[in-house]
Amino acid sequence: MAFTAITLKVLDNLNEEAQRDHEAAQVAATTAAVGEVINWDTGEAHGSVTAIKQGTNASGLTCREFQQEISVGGETEKAYGTVCLQPDGAWKIVNP
């Protein structure tokens, strides 16, 4: 389940450890309570992922709207997007 396609330019500057931590935060945010901030920090980079809304779309799929923020090298970016839980258990971006 990576919804990193909710694109942030700064993601290109993350080292492997930061990429893993960022992805783990995204996974944790799929089951966290709406509004719960999932933070990660590698020292060189840090960020957060928060599910800000959850509902059901017209097809009956559970969808979550996410907000994320990443800081690396003194540069901070924010992104928003919506992902929906597919019947096979994967999350799919529907509105990056």
- Sorted by where each begins, the domain ranges of the chain are 9-95
- Kindly report the average pLDDT of the chain as a whole number: 85
Kind of pairing between the strands at 75-85 and 91-95: antiparallel
Helix H or strand E segment including 54: strand 45-56
Cα of 88 vs its chain's centroid, Å? 19
pLDDT at 18: 85
pLDDT 10s digits, 60-89: 999 999 999 989 888 888 888 889 999 998
Counting Cβ atoms within 10 Å, is residue 73 exposed (0-12), middle (13-18) or buried (19+)? exposed
d(Cα 93, Cα 84) in Å, to the nearest integer?
A: 7
Q: What percent of the chain has pLDDT over 70?
A: 85
Residues 6 or more apart in contact with residue 44 via CB below 8 angstroms: 15, 18, 72, 73
Q: Which pair of tokens denotes residue 36?
A: 């719960």
